[in-house]
Chains A and B, each alone.
Chain A
Amino acid sequence: MKLLEKTSRIYLLASLFIYLAVGIAFYWIITFMIYDEVESRLMVEKRDFETYIHSNNTWVNNSYFVENKIEVVPVVKIQDKTAFTDTLIYNRYEESMDPFRQLTFYTMIGGSPYRVTIRKSIVESYKLIEAISAAMITFLALLMIGMFVFQRSLSGKLWRPFYDSLAKIKDFDWTRNKKLELSASEISEFNELNEVMLKMSSKMQHDYKSLREFTENASHEIQTPLALINARVEQFIQSKDLSEGQTHWIEEIYHAARRMSRLNQGLLLLAKIENQQFTEQEEMDLAALILLRLKDFEDIILHKNLTVKTEQTGKFIKIISPALADILVTNLLSNAIKHNYPDGQLTVTAGKDFFIISNTGNALKAAPDRLFERFKKESNGAESLGLGLAIVKQICDNYDLQIDYQHVDSLHSIRVFA
């Protein structure tokens, strides 16, 4: 939810609540005042009536008038009770029931007990209440809408620098050399925020740069001595009088150096992918790419006598670094071939937004979900580094690609999908 929307909603909800509360309170106050007025007038009439009875000691019921009607009914016993009640009386001209407020009390007239009811119409008062209520509702609603619109436009204006900065921060790419630039605002909080963001961004750029330099320097510093070992071994094996033991040692040194070099390169590649150093991106069709790269493995497929089946049903378009796309498919293919039996099968199925590489091979010894972890390798052979699938996973993570592994008997399938 957007900030503006959120504040608007809260404002709307709060004002609606207040609006209702004020409306109800107002209604009750007006009703109370009208009743109070009517009742005090009824009390005055009661005093008038009592004064009249006191002086005349008789009453003639004249029931013709609808309003200000005084009804005197004889009763058996006098009660010491005075009460106000609401009642409806039939209006014979308008043929409607009109609301009345009545005061009932008991008194002695000419020595016998009577119940006296004085009534007063409150139909006019009700009309008044309606009119006042309608006016109030209209004005309050207008006020509320006005406030709402004002608050909205004010918030929009106040938060503008914030949204400007936000858009700029979103566009900011710390892998590039361009510094983050934020415009100053009148509001000091936003300026403070901008300052903090600027500091953070330049720190990020700096850290990223030094990390990048470090990985590159580390690569160089390690690869150069390895190159020297390699070169010296190559020179050493040229000598004609090597004993079998010496040959064995030199072979081991050579393999260890090569292994270390490849480990170094693999870990560096992983670090670079993690640091998102592959910034150049293109729209690639991974389905076509995997079938293209399969051709590079022709020799080894022929050598292992693998039966290859391919099927392409659609395009797997992805915006990805071409170098990483290559590494992704090459690693998976190489993996499927390396762990295949001689005379085994290799199936590549590619279609819209997915590809599946299936190969025959020995059952996994490790848990399948740990397959994509670093240094989790199936064979203990010196050739296997245990980085290939970790690199694949890292590339998939970086580009929001899903990857899963399934196996049926001796058929292993790795599926990559968007």
Chain B
Amino acid sequence: MFPESEAIFGADQFLEMKVLVVEDEKGLAESIVEYLSREGFVCEVANTFWQADEKISLYQYDCTIVDLTLPDGDGFNIVQTLKKIAAATGIIIISARNTLEDKIKGLEIGSDDYMTKPFHLSELNARVKSLIRRRNFGGNNDMVWKEIRVQLPSRKVFVNEKDTVLSKKEYDLLLYFLSNIDVALTKEAIAEHLWGDHMDSSDSLDMVYSHIKNLRRKIIEKGGKDYIQSIYGIGYKFTAP
């Protein structure tokens, strides 16, 4: 177990974890790589189907992010190949195709997650981490950040080792923050993470505000520090004060 006082969560746990990004839009691939590298991942990019095919047959990755529509091939084939030769790799599909059929097909042939473009990088980051955690530690490890400890299987939260009761949404919110430490998160990204994209209204932004208020209060009540920093006009950041 990591010592409690240090900032051991976030970057360190995923240090040297290898991620392959298969995306033909170079700018987007670059964004994903830059974002994930900040979190400690080692990222590689494949802009075409054949590059991706070559890379997955040569190297081992902890996670592969696959775009379905590639200029020289279908992303589904990459997923199938990965399942055959590297079953340990987590697979997240990112696609502009948002039909139910595509989503079902993606999950059926063995991808672990399906995200529709446009997505939030913070959401992708959280999902990559959650996927690697599930695959590598069976979801049984604790998430620790300073005085906050989250027992994943039992969904329990301890602040200064004191049991802190959070509502389901507050728990999800805390986990989202813990997956995106030191990252400015937009209110919309948080709302979408908590309620999905069908809740897109000004009400959901108010709800984000009230959930954050409650989460902050509950952590402080147990003697924790206030890690949630508001960023005017944009959203929030979970960071050491």
A residues sitting closer than 8 Å to B (CB atoms) are 216, 219-220, 222-232, 234-235, 237-238, 244, 247-248, 250-251, 254, 257-258, 261-262, 265, 280, 296-297, 299-300, 303-304, 323, 330, 334, 337-338, 381, 383-384
Contact B232 A224 (CB under 8 A): no
What separation, in Å, do the CA atoms of A63 and B10 have in the docked complex? Answer: 143
CB-contact partner of B188 in A258, A297, A337, A338, under 8 A: A258
Checking B25, B207, B233 against A303 with a beta-carbon cut-off of 8 angstroms, the contacting residue is B207
Please state if B96 and A228 are interface contacts (CB–CB under 8 Å).
no
B28 touches A227 (CB 8 A): yes
Closest residue to A335 on the B side, CB-wise?
A: B201
Give Cα A225 to B25, complex, Å. Answer: 8
B207-237: CB near A (< 8 Å → 1, else 0) gives 1001000000000000000000001111000
**Is A224 a contact partner of B31 (Cβ separation < 8 A)?**
no
A241 CB, nearest partner CB in chain B, Å: 12
Nearest-neighbour CB distance to chain A for B79, whole angstroms, equals 18
- Contact partners of A227 in chain B: CB under 8 A: 25, 28, 94, 96, 117-119
Contact status A334-B199, CB under 8 Å: yes
- A sample of 18 more A-B contacts (CB under 8 A), given A224-B96, A300-B204, is A223-B117, A224-B117, A226-B117, A227-B96, A230-B118, A231-B35, A234-B35, A234-B121, A235-B31, A237-B231, A237-B234, A250-B234, A254-B188, A261-B118, A299-B169, A299-B194, A300-B199, A334-B198
Assembly CA distance A148 to B32 (angstroms): 81
| B69 surroundings in chain A (CB, below 8 A) | 220
Q: Are A219 and B200 in contact (CB under 8 A)?
A: no
User: In the assembled complex, which residues on chain B have CB atoms less than 8 Å from the CB atom of A247?
Assistant: 231-234
Complex Cα distance, B154 from A43, in Å, reads 130
- 10 A-B residue pairs with CB within 8 Å: A223-B117, A227-B94, A227-B119, A228-B27, A231-B27, A231-B118, A234-B189, A299-B194, A303-B206, A304-B203
Nearest A-chain residue to B125, judged by Cβ: A234
Contact A235 B232 (CB under 8 A): no
**Which of A226, A257, A338 interacts with B203 by CB under 8 Å?**
A338
Evaluate contact between B118 and A251: CB separation under 8 angstroms: no
- Let me know if A232 and B201 touch, CB within 8 A: no
Residues in B neighbouring A232, C-beta threshold 8 A? 27, 31
The number of residues on chain B lying at the interface, defined by a beta carbon within 8 Å of a beta carbon of chain A, is 45
Known: A230-B119, A235-B31, A258-B188. A383 touches B25 (CB 8 A): no
Does B122 have its Cβ within 8 Å of any Cβ on chain A? yes
Judged by a CB distance under 8 angstroms, whether B97 is at the interface is yes
B118 contacts A237, C-beta separation under 8 Å: no
A232-B31, A262-B200, A299-B195 given as contacts; is B96 within 8 A of A238 (CB)? no
Residues in A whose Cβ lies below 8 Å from that of B184? 234, 237-238
Chain A residues, CB < 8 A from B31: 228, 231-232, 234-235
A226 and B202 within 8 A (CB): no
Asked if A323 and B186 make an inter-chain contact with CB atoms under 8 angstroms apart, the answer reads no
Q: Considering only CB atoms, which chain A residue lies closest to B69 in the complex?
A: A220
- Do the beta carbons of B28 and A224 come within 8 Å of each other? yes
What secondary structure prevails in chain A residues at the interface with B?
helix
How many whole Å from A387's CB to the nearest CB in chain B? 12
Contact A219 B96 (CB under 8 A): yes
* Complex Cα–Cα for A226 and B210 (A): 29
Residues from chain A with a CB closer than 8 A to the CB of B97 are 216, 219-220
Cβ-defined contact, A244 with B203, below 8 A: no
Q: Is B58 an interface residue (CB 8 A)?
A: no
Q: In the complex the two chains form, is A230's CB within 8 Å of B234's CB?
A: no
Q: How far is the CA of A270 from the CA of B39 in the complex (A)?
A: 39
Contact A381 B202 (CB under 8 A): yes
The answer to the question of B16 belonging to the interface, with a C-beta cut-off of 8 Å to chain A, is no
Taking CB atoms and an 8 Å cut-off, the chain B residues in 103-131 that contact chain A are: 116-122
Contact digits for B69-110, partner A, Cβ 8 Å, 1 yes 0 no: 100000000000000000000000010111011000000000
Contact between chains at A235 and B199 (CB < 8 Å)? no
For A244, the chain B residues whose CB sits under 8 A away are 232-233
B183, A224: Cβ atoms under 8 Å? no
Contacts of B210 in A (CB 8 A): 303
Q: Give the docked Cα–Cα distance between A237 and B188 (Å).
A: 14
> Does the CB pair B207–A299 fall under 8 Å?
yes
The answer on a CB contact under 8 Å between A223 and B118 is: yes
A119 to chain B, nearest CB (A): 100
Determine if B122 and A234 form an interchain contact, defined as CB atoms under 8 angstroms apart.
yes
Which of A216, A231, A300, A338: most chain B Cβ within 10 A?
Answer: A231
B34 at the interface (CB under 8 A from A): yes
Pick the residue among A223, A229, A235, A303 that contacts B96 (CB under 8 A).
Answer: A223
B126 to chain A, nearest CB (A): 13
CB distance from B9 to the nearest CB of A (A): 18
Residues of B within 8 A of A250 (CB): 234
Residues of B contacting A300 with CB < 8 Å?
195, 199, 203-204, 207
Given A223-B118, A238-B184, A323-B100: A231 and B28 interface contact (C-beta under 8 Å):
yes
List of 10 A-B pairs having minimum Cβ-Cβ separation, nearest first: A223-B96, A231-B31, A227-B118, A220-B96, A227-B117, A230-B118, A223-B117, A226-B118, A237-B184, A228-B27
User: In the assembled complex, how far is the CB of residue A257 from the closest CB belonging to chain B, in whole angstroms?
Assistant: 7
A235 to chain B, nearest CB (A): 6
How distant is the Cα of A228 from the Cα of B26 in the complex, in angstroms?
A: 9
Identity of the chain B residue whose Cβ is nearest the Cβ of A265 in the assembled complex = B98
Nearest chain A CB to B48 CB, angstrom units: 15
Residues of chain B within 8 A of A262, CB atoms compared: 197, 200
CB-CB under 8 A from B207, the residues of chain A are 299-300, 303
A349 to chain B, nearest CB (A): 22
Interface residues of B in 162-189 (CB under 8 A from A): 169, 183-184, 186, 188-189
Q: Is there an interface contact between A337 and B118, defined as CB atoms closer than 8 Å?
A: no
